[in-house]
Amino acid sequence: MLDSVTGKELDILIETPGGLAEVTVELVNLLRPRFDHVAFIVPHMAMSAGTILAMSGDEILMDHRSSLGAIDPQFQSPDGRIQPAQAILAGIDAIKDDVAKNGGNLNPVYMPILRNVDPGKLQSAINASDLSKELVTNWLTTYKFRTWTKHKDGTTVTEDERRTRAGEIAGVLCDHQKWLSHGRPIKIADLEAMRLRINDYGKTPDLQGLIWKLWVNLSHSMSSSNIYKFFESESVEFFNIALPQPKGMPPPTLQPPGKTIIELSCTKCNAAQKVQANLGARQPLEKGTIAFPKDCMLQCQSCGNTTDLTGLKMQLEAQARQPLLLG
């Protein structure tokens, strides 16, 4: 996709609930050597790792509906709950302070808590927080702040001043005690209070309308189908789909030779439909089933949601080693 983009400037419309900070490193390593100027457009949200990625841009474009998010890492506790890494660290520090105040004696009430603390995971929490701050600091200094050359009074901005400002912003974004929730939206006013300049495209109504229309169309397309990840440029588009899983295990096997019947659940309303797939030769349609659709797009008879069965077709053909006859 990147190879198909012409020119040295790139605008990226981003929508993400987050992910791994390590993945943003790979993305930035792909983008920044290829493009001289990168702008991130956030119509709705770019949370967590999405915020880290946005900090690698020369510009960040938002309006009143847009949100970035805290970059403090999350960890899964032994009981399966997702917890902020910094909350774990803060809890340990509180216990240390209490022990120090009590002459080195540990209150027995803390014992069940400490038994569940994995020293390796504790160090991983520290490392993950440091990584998030390091990435934001380095990328802001290298990219967004490289054009910040003069103070308002006309004096020259030094490299140390750029890095110091970037480090301060990274520290605030990674401060769980400030945001209290990893999912709390961080708006333009919050970012400007950190002294991070944001381009508010809400001041250009025509542009704002076009960006919002594009986001709404993309959002509707994904919510009414089984697409869960979508990438598009001026000349290329591709997407990942969630393949509906046939009910029961093991995977479907041929009943009579040349025919298999799969019960699929709608990805939206969970209604069940039985689909007959003819492999290698056409077969009479079983009662209560529908034929595998010609275009591989199955429409739910209950809610009208459309499910792409292309992946299932490939799976069945690979298992049976026969072509699936459509329609």
Q: How far is 202 from 63, CA to CA, in rounded Å?
A: 5
Residues 319, 193 share a domain:
no
Residue 120 domain flag: no
Specify the length of the chain in residues: 327
* Phi, psi dihedrals of residue 314, rounded to the nearest 5°: -65, -40
Residue 78 lies in a domain: no
Reference 24, options 58, 60, 48, 59; nearest CA is 48
C-alpha 269: how far from chain center = 24
Are 167 and 219 in the same domain? yes
Q: How many domains are there within the chain?
A: 2
What DSSP designation does 80 have?
S
Q: Are residues 205 and 308 in the same domain?
A: no
Tell me: do 57 and 132 sit in the same domain.
yes
Domain final position from 180, 208, 239: 239
Q: Which residues pair with 62 in a beta bridge?
A: 200
Co-location of 11 and 133 in the same domain: yes
How far is Cα 230 from Cα 218, in angstroms, rounded to an integer? 9
Segments forming the whole domain that contains residue 280: 259-325
Residue 227: half-sphere exposure toward Cβ, Cα within 13 Å? 16
Same domain, 53 and 153: yes
Rounded to an integer, what distance in angstroms lies between the CA atom of residue 16 and that of residue 27?
A: 14
Alpha helix (H) residue ranges in the chain? 21-31, 49-54, 85-101, 111-115, 119-142, 159-173, 176-179, 188-193, 205-223, 310-320
For the chain, 327 residues long, the average pLDDT of each consecutive 10-residue run is 86 93 95 97 97 98 97 75 78 91 90 80 83 97 97 95 98 93 94 98 97 90 74 74 57 58 82 88 88 89 85 76 80
Q: Is residue 246 part of a domain?
A: no
- How many alpha carbons fall within 13 Å on the CB side of residue 217? 6
Same-domain pairing of 150 and 199: yes
Is residue 93 in a domain?
A: no
Residue 32 DSSP label: T
Name the nearest CA neighbour of 259 among 223, 228, 289. Answer: 289
238 SS3 class: strand
* pLDDT score, position 80: 66
pLDDT digits (tens, 9 = 90+) for 156-196: 999 999 999 999 999 999 998 899 888 999 999 999 999 99
Instruction: List all residues 6 or more positions away from 139 whose beta carbon is below 8 Å from its beta carbon.
Output: 28, 52, 55, 56
Q: In this predicted structure, what is the pLDDT of residue 255?
A: 46
Residue 96 has a CB neighbour count (10 Å cut-off) of 11
Provide DSSP, 32-90: TTT-SEEEEE-SSEE-THHHHHHTTSSEEEE-TT-EE-----EEE-TTS-EEEHHHHHH
Q: What is the pLDDT of residue 73?
A: 83
- For 291: left if phi > 0, alpha if psi spans -120 to 50, otherwise beta; the answer is beta
Q: How much is the pLDDT for 254?
A: 45
The SS3 call for residue 168 is helix
Instruction: Assess whether 157 and 272 both reside in one domain.
Output: no
Same domain? For 160 and 308 the reply is no
Q: Is residue 104 a part of any domain in this protein?
A: no
pLDDT at 325: 86
In this prediction the pTM is: 0.72
The predicted pLDDT at position 249 comes to 46
245 in any annotated domain: no
Residue 90 lies in a domain: no
Say whether both 270 and 129 belong to one domain.
Answer: no
